[in-house]
Structure 1
Amino acid sequence: MNGHVNGHLARNSAPETSYDVIVIGAGISGINAGYRLQTTLPDSTYTILEGRSDLGGTWSLFQYPGIRSDSDLYTFGFPFNPWTKDNPIATGESIYEYMKDTASKFGINEHIQYRHKVASADWSSDAQLWRLEVDNEGTRKALYTKFIIMGTGYYDYEKPLEAKIPGLENFKGTRVHPQFWPQDLDYKGKKAVVIGSGATAITIVPALVEGGVGEVTMLQRSPTYIMSVPQGAPFYDAYLPRSLSLWITRLQHIIIPYLLYLFCRKMPNAARNMITGEAKKLLPKDFPMDPHFTPTYKPWDQRLCFCPEGDFFNAFATGRAHVVTGTIKTVTDDGITLENGETLDTDIIITATGLNLSFCGHIALTVDKVPVSLPSKFLWRSSMLTGVPNLGLIIGYVNASWTLGADSASRLLCRLIKTMNEKGYSSATPKISEEEAKDPQLPLNLKSTYIKSGEKKMPSCGRKGPWMPRDNYIVDSWNADRADLGTGLEFGRKST
């Protein structure tokens, strides 16, 4: 299915082209999907549409100091092209190069069309096809496909989460959001305040200290659980064949973090004592734990943060990094005033306050010209939307590496497409019963501010069967390869 479709095109339009599968987004999810498509469905045609001029998604977009993974690369990396370096927590630059090398090594880069931004996608029940309207540098294209896989991630690339900070517009210094970090920003010798306490803030603080900032203060409304993780090769790497060592290391990083997650959920008080106890050991002597490192919520109610070799904690030993816990009363022209009367003078304010959730990349989805309302939909196996035929939606984990979930989803979707081809089906549509739709829950089970802010943008999950949210890779991996595809799906054939 790789030809041209007849039809009249508007001015500044290109010929209409069709594919068996179109993947949207050339980030880690899209590249992973490309590999699974070309290995599982070698006779099918596919392309990857990327709105920007480069692959990499997050890892080519974000350029703030110290940008790095918040998951280990042994599981965040691709299972078909293992991460071979000794550092499980890797820099953004090295992740980008790894993704670029992977795409080239497996020929996935040959399928990527850059500067192709999808504006809309409409499913036609009569034609049993998706029609995509695509902008390519001022030229509008119409592409057709049997199946779409959304590798667009879960946040807005163009608009960050608006920080509701009173008086922020009064500040006469430099204001920066990490998502759009200016490469010419000179912070050496200056005072900076990082507002936030999540993974981004915990990454930026030690990076600014290392980069020569005069003073940096992390201003948090409430603290976060933070754990140090070791870097370096495991001891058995020197004795085992490299492939076996990498397999064992990956397996360990699948199992141990999940056990830690279960420990935190089942025994929150013990987990709290363990995490805060380890943090105290890494902080300077007599550094006040309360209120700066004693969260009031349970571990894993919000995502647990990791720092390599304790670099975040070590930054405080320099005397140039500080933490303040409090509520902002107002921002002035040269600093921040807190509700308790304390003032923070600063030259730079960095609003590391979270991501702006967005599913399907702001693409206007319609089924037979009827708009698709994402919040009204349920997720089938965390990978498809009820009432929307032939549309895969890749969502990773919040309690493990994103790629583990993305790969499970891609394998499941490729198996589904292969089964449809073998049985002559032209459509697969998730259908949920009224009973199954009772007591819905969110697909991202966290209480973080940015998750709460985006609740009304998300589809829902159910409480049983294929409608459960994704939180266990071993179960999801089994389902991807073996679960009954008929449960929760309605199949159709094109009328002749």
Structure 2
Amino acid sequence: MDFNYEKKKIALIGSGATAVSLLAPLAARAAEVTIVQRSPSYIAAFENRSRTCEHVPLFVVIACRRLYWIIMPCIFVLFCQCFPKAVRDMLQKKTVKLLPGWVEHDPHFKPRYNPWEQRLCFDPDGRFYGALHRPNVKVVTGKIESITESGIQIQDSRTIEADVIVTATGLNMKLGGDIDMRINGKTVPWSKRFIWNGSMVDGIPNMIFMLGYTNHSWTLGADNTAIILGRLWAYMARNGMRSAVPRVPQEATEKPKRLWQLSATYVTLAEDKFPICGNAGLWKPRACPLLDYVRARWGDYTSGLRFSA
């Protein structure tokens, strides 16, 4: 990055993954960095190092690591859903230990929601919490009233001086990059169409899209979709098929489910633009990477599709 922010006062707006990632490198060079957040997020520090076993073949170590990172997030998310208060208390205790004395847990690090109602932020090797101990870092929690020539005005009359403002404030979610889908020249919206097997959309021929998980590694969803795609292409090639169109049955459309089971603002703002999930068969939402992998590799991959030569 060519921009020189050394010895400048920076206001970093946001409390999500972008803000967590930016704080440490910005604080190392800037004169001052102030985190400005409307509401806090859960931020969990973890050791970002892989342990090795000298007498175990590397391929076994890699396989075990992959299996561990598939299973453990599933267990953790399930625990959050079943025992939200216990997880909230656990995260609070760990956070308080990592905070410097001048930062209060409430309101700066006490979210208004339970763990995994929105995504958690992970802090590799505690770099974010380490940066909070620097004398040039501040945290301000409150709603922004206006941007002024000299910085930011908070609604409770506090002012934040800033030479630079970084907006790490969330996403504007657009499936397909906001590209129009057309069938026979007519535009087909994504909204409220049912998803087949986590990878195709009802009524849209031959289109498979990569969609990951909200509560696990994103790439695991892409991997499972790629397996389905490979099997489907091979099946169509063997049988001389040129088109596959998902057709949702009536029984799967009752009590539809949201695509993203999160309460984050960027999700709720885009919800009406998203396809939805059914409640039966291959129309149900994907939730567990390990089970989804088994289904993708060996399970049914043709039900709900209408093929044509």
Instruction: Establish whether TM, by shorter chain, passes 0.5.
Output: yes
Amino acid at match of 1:485: Y
Question: 1:468 offset after TM fit, Å?
Answer: 1.6
Question: 1:361 offset after TM fit, Å?
Answer: 2.4
Kindly report which structure 2 residues correspond to 1:28-47, keeping only aligned pairs within 5 A, or say none: none
Residues 435, 337 of structure 1: alpha-carbon distance in 2 compared, 3 angstrom cutoff: same
Q: Which residue does the alignment assign to 2:80? A: 264
CA distance in structure 2 between the partners assigned to 1:323 and 1:470 by the alignment? 38
Q: What SS does the corresponding residue of 1:374 show, helix, strand or coil?
A: coil
Residue 70 (structure 2) pairs with residue 250 (structure 1): no
Q: Which residue does the alignment assign to 1:396? A: 212
TM-score, normalised to structure 2, is 0.96
Q: Which residue does the alignment assign to 1:313? A: 129
- Regions of 4+ moved over 6 Å: none
CA distance in structure 2 between the partners assigned to 1:333 and 1:230 by the alignment? 41
- How high is the sequence identity, in percent, across the aligned residues? 39
TM-score, normalised to structure 1, is 0.60
Q: What SS does the corresponding residue of 1:393 show, helix, strand or coil?
A: coil
CA distance in structure 1 between the partners assigned to 2:41 and 2:137 by the alignment? 17
Kindly report which structure 2 residues correspond to 1:36-185, keeping only aligned pairs within 5 A, or say none: 183-185=1-3
Once the two structures are superposed, what CA deviation does each residue of 1:319-348 show, in whole Å capped at 9, x if it has no partner?
A: 211111101111111111111111111111
Which of 203, 220, 229 is 2:46 aligned to? 229
CA distance in structure 2 between the partners assigned to 1:487 and 1:347 by the alignment? 58
CA distance in structure 1 between the partners assigned to 2:288 and 2:202 by the alignment? 22
Kindly report which structure 2 residues correspond to 1:422-441, keeping only aligned pairs within 5 A, or say none: 422-441=238-257
CA distance in structure 2 between the partners assigned to 1:481 and 1:469 by the alignment? 17
Q: Which residue does the alignment assign to 2:89? A: 273
Amino acid at match of 1:439: K
Aligned partners of 2:180 and 2:189 also within 8 Å: no
Which of 12, 16, 28 is 1:194 aligned to? 12
Residue 264 (structure 2) pairs with residue 448 (structure 1): yes
Amino acid at match of 2:282: P
Aligned partners of 2:10 and 2:166 also within 8 Å: yes
Q: Which residue does the alignment assign to 2:229? A: 413
Once the two structures are superposed, what CA deviation does each residue of 1:158-202 show, in whole Å capped at 9, x if it has no partner?
A: xxxxxxxxxxxxxxxxxxxxxxxxx32211111111111100011
CA distance in structure 1 between the partners assigned to 2:180 and 2:147 by the alignment? 38
Residue 157 (structure 2) pairs with residue 346 (structure 1): no
Amino acid at match of 1:410: A
- Backbone CA RMSD of aligned residues: 1.4
Amino acid at match of 2:21: T
CA distance in structure 1 between the partners assigned to 2:229 and 2:105 by the alignment? 47
Which of 10, 21, 24 is 1:206 aligned to? 24
Aligned partners of 1:411 and 1:481 also within 8 Å: yes
CA distance in structure 2 between the partners assigned to 1:290 and 1:364 by the alignment? 45
Q: Aligned residues, how many?
A: 309
Structure 1: stretches of 5+ with no match in the other structure? 1-182
CA distance in structure 2 between the partners assigned to 1:403 and 1:233 by the alignment? 19
CA distance in structure 2 between the partners assigned to 1:278 and 1:437 by the alignment? 43
Aligned partners of 2:251 and 2:280 also within 8 Å: no
Residue 307 (structure 2) pairs with residue 491 (structure 1): yes
Aligned partners of 1:382 and 1:443 also within 8 Å: no
Question: 1:286 offset after TM fit, Å?
Answer: 5.5
Aligned partners of 1:443 and 1:470 also within 8 Å: no
CA distance in structure 2 between the partners assigned to 1:193 and 1:424 by the alignment? 59
Question: 1:457 offset after TM fit, Å?
Answer: 2.0
Question: 1:276 offset after TM fit, Å?
Answer: 1.5
CA distance in structure 2 between the partners assigned to 1:334 and 1:438 by the alignment? 54
Aligned partners of 1:390 and 1:427 also within 8 Å: yes
Q: What SS does the corresponding residue of 2:250 show, helix, strand or coil?
A: coil
Which of 374, 383, 406 is 2:190 aligned to? 374
